[in-house]
Amino acid sequence: MRRDYGSFITPKRQRGPNLSSWALRGRDVFFWCALLAATCLLSCWRGTQTDELNRKPGIASRLRRRVASLPLRHQVLAQGKADIRRGDRQLGAPSSSRAGSWVWQRRKRAFDSPSERACKVFCEGELLRAVQTAGIFQDSKEFVDMSMRMDPEVVLKKFDALRPEERKDPGILAAFVSEHFSTPGSELVAIQPQDFTDSPSVLQSLTPGSSYYAWAQTLNQAFASLTRKVSDDVFLNPQRYSILRRTHPVVIPGGRFRESYYWDSYWIVLGLLACDMKDTARGLVQNLLDDVANFGFVPNGGRIYYLNRSQPPLLSEMVLALLEADAGLMEDADFVASATTLLDAEYTFWMEEGNHAVALEDKEGHAHVLNRYWTSTSYPRPESFKEDLASKSEANGTSKMYGGLFANIAAGAESGWDFSSRWIPPGPNGTFSMSAIETSNVLPVELNAYLYRMERNLARLHELQSSATLPKFPFRATNLRPSERKAADILTSPTAIKYSLSADKRALAMDKFMWDGESGMWRDYVIHSHAGRPSPGGGATSVSNFIPLWAGLTANPLVMDGSTKVAQAIATLKASALVQVGGLQTTVKSTREQWDRPNAWPPLQQLMIEGLVRTNMSEGIQLADELAKAWLESNYLGFANSGYMHEKYNAFIPGARGEGGEYYPQVGFGWTNGVVLHLLKIYGDSWAVLGDNAMLSEADEELSSRPAASAFDVSDVGSVEVEHTSITTREEGDRAVRERRERMMEIEGGGI
């Protein structure tokens, strides 16, 4: 019998109950519901396919845009749920779908109940906006680093009780903050590391009585002054703090940076290992591994407002540095196994399709994957609230605002280069405005170099694990960093082979999309070019263009003419304006941003010095020696003149601090100390003892006349004034150095 679906829609009037008719009607309801469900599923599937194949807005894209419009704490929760639903869809990631789900289940819990409660005060909301825009604090980070004297619900209720005009009164707001919040940093307790020693092995590389010997002793003491543990009350009342709970002590950078930071930790770990503080170094690394276990990634820093972004992925380098420091034998196989598993999870985070990982197609139609810095936030950074609102105001006022301003600003912070002309297209008059930032439109050279190393490191770790048959097994330095020409077919672990192949694919992609044969260096790749608008960076030369030397990229057999490219890159770097008397300046572009000319940053010096040595070419090794000497001399002069180590330096004036950026120049300083101690252990002080050391001798006398404590007590110091002269050419810098040397020699009554 033919079923009449129309009778269900407009049923005929019945004189009485007809059970068979109602049964038929029930079947009709079921049929229509099933048909509707099938139609919805088909629509969703087609939308997903469209999103995958044609890159047009599908369900996933619309969901991501919806998530981006949510407040910070809801973004993490919604993003986690969405990715759990869609599964582990990655580009080039060797991890299984189960591993991907594991990652997102933990990211879903990125905001546990106490952190979510605290985030209502420190990450979003009217209280945060009112305080940050009232001008109570010069630094936006001051407020969000405070701790609440009572639970956040009580604080918010009292704030809601204020009249609208009172919420705009700076005096009333200042009194409100003073009553309900404690001083920033009070949640961290200064401690003496248990493995601290007054006679670290780095001193064996130095000559007793030399200028650098006492300096190294003081920097060793500085680590004790910068070590903190989280107070007990943070564990008892986590909802009152923005600090993340830490099981192990941390070594903070110093100044306004009162918490641990992801990529800073790598150079701090190198310095700690140079000072034989292996337990403290391992604690720092374990804290970051715990972050991966809890959140599925390593946050930018140790505060809840950093949970929407990461920083350059150097955790695998830290793990290997620990293994190499153990005299060739790693006795804790459980640590290695757990660390490797968590590094797998972090790699999964960086290989999220459509987020950090970007699919590309070359001219031959071959598919490739490279990475970028990326966030989905649509809210100002809590720690830089005023600055982000100013950028938005400028964008609105000049009609320069392109999509996702706050997301691109946060992505710039994720890069560690916050901020640089690399992320900003130059304006009509050659200036660089934060209102035009488009970080996520750039595939950075150094990020992909870091991930190449991560893939190589993970391949080796998995191979070593698969070959281990005893609780104690060797992790010798010669095995940990094998020749990059080691082919994947001699590996035995399937996972190691997958990672090795991923590294090979990345090397090939970087060679195709980033190598510039005409200029002899790698360059950032811009995903989308906008008509009538220049690309970010403006094609300027940057230290990041040479980081592949550190990663060993050209040793990969898939990179054509690798040795020729190495020689080209060394020659290009040596002849470039990056090389200055005080080290490598970050870029050759002069802007208001701190990761540009004329600033020289400690981590970039270490990476390039090590990278040039790894080339195993005489020209590269010679340039590395010159850079190491210049950097150590500049850092020592700055220390002698001010009694402090700075976050960054001026590449044109040895000893002068760097300038620019969103905040006042900081002292302390964690990664600066780490790089110096690491280089001193490698290079010693032969040139300072046997060579022309007039400046060092004068600086040594300056230090000897200063009380010892002032040289490293930075617990309450945010910034200091140091004599600074703006110099923009290498010739001016050389002249300034000569004049300083002559002035110092006149004081001593000698000659150069």
Q: Please choose, from the candidates 357, 613, 615, 373, the residue with its C-alpha nearest in 3D space to the C-alpha of residue 509.
A: 357
Q: Is the dihedral of CA 249, 253, 257, 261 positive or negative?
A: negative
d(CA 492, CA 82): 36
List own/partner pairs for 174-179 with CB under 8 A and 24 or more apart. 174/134, 174/136, 177/131, 177/136, 177/143, 177/146, 179/149
Residue whose token pair is 């973004």: 75
Given the residues 51, 88, 388, 418, the one annotated as active site: 418
Q: How far is CA 618 from CA 520, 544, 570, 571, in A?
A: 18, 22, 10, 12
Residue 289, number of CB atoms within 10 A of its CB: 23
Establish whether 418 is a catalytic residue.
Answer: yes
Q: Is the dihedral of CA 123, 125, 127, 133 positive or negative?
A: positive
Bridge partner list, 303: 243
SS3 646: strand
The two three-digit tokens of residue 138, written as one number: 């010069």
What's CA 229's distance to the chain center, in Å?
22
Query: DSSP strand E in 495-638: where?
Result: 515-516, 521-522, 525-526, 579-580, 583-584, 599-600
d(CA 351, CA 357): 5
Given the residues 324, 647, 662, 685, the one annotated as active site: 647
d(CA 240, CA 187): 10
In contact, 537 and 442? CB cutoff 8 Å:
yes
d(CA 458, CA 495): 9
Residue whose token pair is 């080691």: 486
Bridging pattern class, strands 329-330 and 473-474: antiparallel
In contact, 550 and 576? CB cutoff 8 Å:
no
d(CA 245, CA 230): 7
d(CA 484, CA 487): 8
The two three-digit tokens of residue 678, written as one number: 């690491």
Q: Is 669 left (phi over 0), alpha (psi -120 to 50) or beta?
A: beta
**Non-local CB neighbours of 247 within 8 Å, separated by 6+ positions:** 286, 287, 290
Query: DSSP strand E in 585-693: where?
Result: 599-600, 649-650
d(CA 508, CA 268): 32
In contact, 582 and 635? CB cutoff 8 Å:
no
Active site residues: 418, 647
